[in-house]
Amino acid sequence: MFQNMVYSNAFLQTEAVDETTLPWLEDAQKLGEQPAADWVKALRHTGAEAFAHTGFPTPAWEGWQYTHLRPLTGTGFHYAVEAPAFDVNVLPPPLLKDSARVVLINGKYRPELSDAPAGVTVMSLMDASVQIAGIEEHLVTVGDLGKTPFKALNAAYTHDGVVVTVKDGTDVTQLLEVLFYNIGSADHPPALHPRCLYWLGKNSGLTVMERHAGSGVYFSNIYAGIALEPASRLKFYKFEEESAQACHFSYTALQQQKCSSFEGFSYAVGGKLSRQEYQNLLIDSGISSMLAGAYLLKDQQCHDFTVLTDHFEPDGKSVQHFKGVVDDQARSVFQGKIHVRRAAQKTDGNQLNHALLLSEKAEASFKPELEIYADDVKCSHGAASGQLDDEALFYLQSRGIPQQQAKSLLIESFLNTALAEVSFPPVRAVYEERIRAWLRH
């Protein structure tokens, strides 16, 4: 089986290969017949090698103590080269009517369903890999694949995805919605591994709404690179609204150059098992990087936010601000770290996570960290969980507000401090409506 793969090489004969990884890599051989740039082939090989040795993380791994993978590993997912047949009418309408939209179906870019704003170039990953010079610098990250098995698995299947670029000096005024719509089935659930890139040139600006939705059973394992050249500006709003039967894993690698700014917000409500991991590298001075989010979990959902913000040079500012609501037997996980290197003087870093538990069986796990080597910084962090304030609830009810409505008002108020980080009012209004809809159900 595995010996005939395009990756068959010396590492496959070593005793270190984990036999349990082989079924997950078997379908990767289907990509061997597909034309690809040399760096893509090398990335596939390296990813397969890393995953074959490590396999999926266990609770004994650092950073995986609270996120158990049984819902994922117990399902027989298979990669499919062919796009599924589907009715275009099942696609949800755009979040904002005046936005442009790029559509991916099961990780594959569909240009006939897409339109790009003026000043934005959109290509499939494989077209961009041979047409855009230097693109591999932002899509090839192999140094830590042994410690990031999901990123390694994505690398092994590098074939699907999309590349979005903005030229130097272009300030794009029209919003861009990037819709990842996935279709799965219980009898043959697909594994999807799109690799994407958002690349903003010098002194350019763009607002992106990245949306994840679908139906049925599927495993979505996404790698997204974000490259911000000097003085560029990106507003990046994520909507994770996967099918209730889906598993969603994403790794977003953000690299910011001098005086660039990033405003990110992630709304997480879908999937039975989800993990969003962010690596924000502030590699020059004068950079602003804000990442906030809101999560709403129920039933037996599990969602994990894992965030690293790494300051390399002086005068950087970063924020990690997450708030969430956990009901029933659901579990939330937040693992945030701000790393300040010795040269990064005058850093201003703030990290905060609060969870509201609505059930005695709901769980929230936190691991906030500050690692600081500079001596002239202003950094803080905090994490806490609790329940609704009984006195506030009683006060609202005493004013004639029904109990369920009073609870909804308190939850909305709790989440609004995180939503305040969203500076674009139309998108903030969409988030607010999504929260109200969740509370009604």
pLDDT in tens, 367-390: 999 999 999 999 999 999 999 999
Question: Which amino acid is residue 264, in one-letter code?
Answer: G
For residues 146 and 267, state if they share a domain.
yes
For residues 122 and 271, state if they share a domain.
yes
Domain boundary among 284, 303, 325: 284
Whole-angstrom CA distances from 259 to 95, 256, 336, 426 are 30, 8, 23, 26
Q: Closest by alpha carbon to 277, among 253, 244, 313?
A: 253
Global pTM reads 0.94
**106 assigned to some structural domain:** yes
Q: Closest by alpha carbon to 343, among 310, 370, 369, 379?
A: 310
- Taking CA 236 as the corner, what is the angle to CA 234 and CA 241, rounded to the nearest 5 degrees? 170
**pLDDT, tens digit, for every residue of 249-298?**
999 999 999 999 999 999 999 999 999 999 999 999 999 999 999 999 99
User: Which residue is it, tokens 């790393």?
Assistant: 339
Domain boundary among 284, 314, 330: 284
Domain boundary among 256, 284, 312: 284
For residues 394 and 279, state if they share a domain.
no
**pLDDT, tens digit, for every residue of 14-34?**
556 777 788 888 888 777 667
In the chain the first and final C-alpha atoms are separated, in Å, by: 47
Asked whether the beta carbons of 411 and 438 are under 8 A apart, the reply is no
When divided into structural domains, the chain yields a total of: 2
For residues 264 and 405, state if they share a domain.
no
For residues 251 and 107, state if they share a domain.
yes
**69 assigned to some structural domain:** yes
What are φ and ψ of residue 243, in 5° steps? -55, 150
Residue count (the chain): 441
For residues 11 and 156, state if they share a domain.
yes
**17 assigned to some structural domain:** yes
**328 assigned to some structural domain:** no
Asked whether the beta carbons of 317 and 326 are under 8 A apart, the reply is no
**What value does the mean pLDDT take over residues 98-109?**
96
**101 assigned to some structural domain:** yes
**How many other CB atoms sit within 10 Å of the CB of residue 53?**
17
Give pLDDT, residue 33.
63
Instruction: Report the Cα 114 to chain-centroid distance in Å.
Output: 22
**pLDDT, tens digit, for every residue of 293-344?**
999 999 999 999 999 999 999 999 999 999 999 999 999 999 999 999 999 9
Instruction: Determine how β-strand 331-340 pairs with β-strand 363-372.
Output: parallel
For residues 269 and 404, state if they share a domain.
no
Q: Could you tell me the residue range of the domain that residue 402 belongs to?
A: 390-441
**What value does the mean pLDDT take over residues 231-236?**
98
With a cut of 50, say whether residue 6 has pLDDT above it: no
Give pLDDT, residue 32.
64
**pLDDT, tens digit, for every residue of 137-192?**
999 876 678 889 999 999 999 999 999 999 999 999 999 999 999 999 989 899 99
For residues 279 and 402, state if they share a domain.
no
Q: Closest by alpha carbon to 34, among 148, 100, 123, 125?
A: 125
Whole-number average pLDDT of the chain: 92
**346 assigned to some structural domain:** no
For 309, the token pair is: 């913000």
**356 assigned to some structural domain:** no
Instruction: Determine how β-strand 120-124 pairs with β-strand 162-166.
Output: antiparallel
